[in-house]
Amino acid sequence: MTKYYNSHIKVKDFQPADLVMKTADIAIHHSTLDKLTSTWEGTYIINIELNSCMYQVQIHNGRELS
């Protein structure tokens, strides 16, 4: 079962200047969400790749996030 699941995983590599969205904090902390609650937030721009799974991003107005 695991082998089948893992064979369908798509690896995503992000580059600086790519646009991304992140999981909304409310979606992580609350298991009883309204079905219309957004689970994603923002549109962020990747600034720097810190390692293979961590990125420094910024909002469109230029403010950096960690």
**Predicted local distance difference test score (pLDDT) of residue 13:** 86
Domains annotated on the chain, with CATH:
9-65 (2.30.30)
pTM of the model: 0.63
Predicted local confidence at residue 25, as pLDDT: 74
Task: Write out pLDDT tens, residues 6-61.
Answer: 888 888 889 999 999 988 776 555 666 677 777 888 889 999 999 888 899 998 77
Residue 65 and residue 59 in contact, taking contact as beta carbons nearer than 8 Å: yes
